[in-house]
């Protein structure tokens, strides 16, 4: 199985996660209005701070796009992680937000609700429609279509910025919960290899005991009790003529 197939299989594990976000996307505006407003004004700066906080302020754990992209681990992150993270959040802002989201989901087994999936899907679809509409307007050369495409692109950008701000506020609230801001006991820092589920093997099916095998030769064969109601077998059987 290739590396891409392994990652695809492990991404499907998110469908089986049972925990929920502390707040859904619709509730982030009222849950932390100032932070949501800050995320709208300076999304890349907030993304930088959230990724660093998601790594427990330990930049030695940093990998480009949290290890979820083909470029991860190939950008010299170990030499200057701060510069690499700044480059990521400003040049690949969408990927930086999504990578922090995946990092938190895999660490805390968080699933995304259907409502949140619909909001995120609508954001992507609207961006694609606006892009296609702009290409058609350029090919046709109509002033009406160009004006309509600009309005559609403006709407798509507004939706994109709004949804990304809500997502980042959602991440911040989840880390507030992790760090005990809401009164719960803060969680300890996990080992570096447990920050991403992509580094972990696929767990066995639930309900099946783990297979056990002898560690070395020389183990006696397994013995089973005789079936109830039957005498133990003996050879030759009684009454058998001897030759």
Query: 72: which residues sit within 8 A by CB, 6+ positions away?
Result: 63, 64, 65, 66
- Read off the pLDDT of each residue in 146-152 and give the average, rounded to a whole number: 90
87: confidence class by pLDDT, cuts 50, 70, 90: very high
Which class for 135: exposed (0-12), middle (13-18), buried (19 or more C-beta within 10 A)?
Answer: exposed
**How do residues 153-212 score in pLDDT, each as one tens digit?**
999 999 999 999 999 999 999 999 998 887 665 656 666 544 544 444 444 443 334 444
What pLDDT was estimated at residue 197? Answer: 46
Domain layout of the chain by residue ranges: 3-179
What pLDDT was estimated at residue 18? Answer: 85
Query: 142: which residues sit within 8 A by CB, 6+ positions away?
Result: none
What pLDDT was estimated at residue 170? Answer: 96
Percent of the chain exceeding pLDDT 70 equals 70
Percent of the chain exceeding pLDDT 90 equals 49
């Amino acid at each position: 199985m290739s590396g891409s197939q392994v990652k695809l299989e492990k991404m499907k594990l998110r469908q089986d996660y049972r925990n929920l976000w502390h707040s859904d996307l619709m509730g982030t505006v009222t849950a932390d209005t100032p932070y949501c407003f800050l995320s709208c004004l300076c999304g890349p700066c907030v993304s930088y701070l959230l990724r660093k906080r998601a790594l427990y302020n330990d930049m030695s754990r940093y990998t480009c796009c949290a290890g979820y992209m083909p470029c991860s681990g190939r950008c010299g992150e170990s030499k200057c992680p701060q510069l690499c993270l700044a480059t990521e959040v400003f040049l690949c802002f969408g990927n930086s937000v999504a990578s922090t989201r995946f990092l938190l989901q895999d660490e805390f087994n968080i699933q995304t609700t259907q409502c949140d999936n619909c909001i995120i899907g609508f954001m992507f679809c609207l961006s694609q429609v606006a892009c296609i509409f702009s290409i058609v307007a350029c090919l046709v050369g109509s002033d009406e279509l160009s004006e309509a495409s600009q309005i559609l692109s403006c709407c798509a950008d507004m939706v994109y910025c709004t949804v990304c701000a809500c997502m980042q506020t959602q991440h911040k609230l989840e880390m507030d919960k992790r760090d005990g801001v809401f009164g719960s006991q803060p969680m300890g820092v996990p080992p570096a290899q447990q920050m991403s589920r992509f580094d972990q093997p696929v767990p066995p099916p639930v309900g099946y005991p783990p297979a056990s095998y002898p560690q070395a030769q020389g183990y006696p064969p397994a013995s089973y009790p005789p079936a109830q109601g039957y005498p133990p077998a003996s050879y030759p059987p009684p009454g058998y003529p001897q030759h």
